[in-house]
Amino acid sequence: MSANPLPRLSPTQPAAFEGQAVIVTGASRGIGRRIAVAFARGGADVVLNYATNREAAEAAAEEVRAEGRRCLPVAGSVADPHVAGALRDAALEAFGRIDVLVNNAGINRDGNVMMLRDSAWDEVLGVNLTGAFYCCRAVLPTMIAQGRGVILNMTSTAGLKGRAGQVNYAATKGALIGLTKSLAQEYGRHGVRVNAIAPGFVETDMVAGILARPEARRGFVEATPLGRLGHPDDVASAALYLSSPDSAYVTGHVLLVNGGLFM
């Protein structure tokens, strides 16, 4: 699929994120990268987290800077609790505030449950679920002190309906929905909104191996009512909406961005 242009901001909010600071985890490529650049296009400065691929992270940071915004790449797996604190501290030192946290970092270690290694279970839970918990806990005091903030958790349709061969991945994505709704109830009175995005089958490096098989690509397209695979920009559009004043009365919500694959 060829790259689509980045989503346009609402005409009523031409620079909805001007002067804001956004943390995006797992942002060196794919969905996270496009979200980081989309926020920059909307006026935000970005702390861009990545696990190990420094070259890809620097390329993503240059895309953000090309939009005229500041960008600070910070390395480390969010499964390490110290990384969440480092992301918070980097944002506060460089930008003086934290307006949006996007918990996008995620991995998969697929396999039938009877054959799944303990390490594959632990690794996926550590990044996808515990990492999001660490990052939420790290930024909440700042958002509460500001009297406002937005947290977005990247879940999946797998977390809503399960997926054969992905019991660990689906379990983390389902748990993120519970995390999202609980935090929305706990911190709404402090001006903090917490929502989740559940993408369908989005064309990224993570699924490139699957899509390399023509029959698999065709099957996913045919199963999607809109007749195409998702693009990272589709998810970036949702992230902008859920973080903008246009969604000021939306919290505890799971927004499905899946072309109708699951309703």
Tokens of 220: 């996913």
Q: Tell whether domain 21-256 is in CATH 3.40.710.10.
A: no
* Residue 169 is among the residues annotated as catalytic for this protein: yes
Bridge partner residues of 149 (DSSP): 192
pTM here is 0.93
DSSP secondary structure letters along 102-127: EE-------B-TTT--HHHHHHHHII
* 3-state percent breakdown (helix, strand, coil) of the chain, nearest 5: 50, 15, 35
216 band by pLDDT with thresholds 50, 70 and 90: confident
Q: Could you report the per-residue pLDDT of 26-68, keeping only the tens digit for each?
A: 999 999 999 999 999 999 999 999 999 999 999 999 999 999 9
Calpha distance 207→180 (Å, rounded): 25
**pLDDT tens track for 57-79:** 999 999 999 999 999 999 999 99
The catalytic residue among 134, 169, 187, 241 is: 169
Q: What's the CA gap between 19 and 36, in Å, rounded?
A: 15
Q: What is the pLDDT of residues 154-199, one digit of tens each?
A: 999 989 998 898 999 999 999 999 999 999 999 999 999 999 999 9
Check residue 4 and give its pLDDT.
52
Sorted by where each begins, the domain ranges of the chain are 21-256
